Amino acid sequence: MTARETILQALFTALQTISGMKVVRNEAFPERIPDGGLIVMRDGEPGEPETILSPLSYYWQHRVRLEVAVQKNTAAARDTALDTLFEGISAMVAANKTLGGLCDILTAQAPDTDTLAIEGAASIKAATVTLELIYVTADPLG
């Protein structure tokens, strides 16, 4: 298994420790959001690595995208539920800055939020949260 996949699996496992929500990886966004909320982890873009020559290694700034969503009947309930998810993500990042030593650092960037009206159902409040993983590999394939 590549270092990149090992790191992505460790991140996915860490996200699953956030209580009360469903976490999936690279799956289609569902029509109905579970009561506790949903995180869809997208593997994102590792970008172009910076090459270090001695010893030959590759420095990555990999951006993983989290699609986060809650579905509640009122705007206030949606705001509170989404904020609770943000708190969970923030706590997970703070507790796993290096994913057990697999990466140099894991950081979160500010969310981009939106509200989606659903005909005949409660509205969805969704956000995209980007997590940046910085790590070094010995192989350009990750």
Structure-token match 């590792």, residue found: 46
This prediction has a pTM of 0.93
- The residues, ordered by sequence, that sit 6+ positions from 77 with a Cβ below 8 Å of its Cβ are none
Counting as low any pLDDT under 70, the low residues of the chain are none
pLDDT at residue 120, rounded to an integer:
78
First vs last C-alpha separation in the chain: 9
List C-alpha distances in Å: 51 to 7, 98, 120, 125: 19, 21, 53, 40
pLDDT at residue 54, rounded to an integer:
86
The domain 3-137 is placed in CATH, from the list 3.40.50.720, 3.30.70.1700, 3.50.50.60, 2.60.40.420, at 3.30.70.1700
Helices assigned H by DSSP within 1-142 = 3-15, 75-95
pLDDT at residue 24, rounded to an integer:
97
Helices assigned H by DSSP within 16-135 = 75-95
* Domain-wise residue ranges, the chain: 3-137
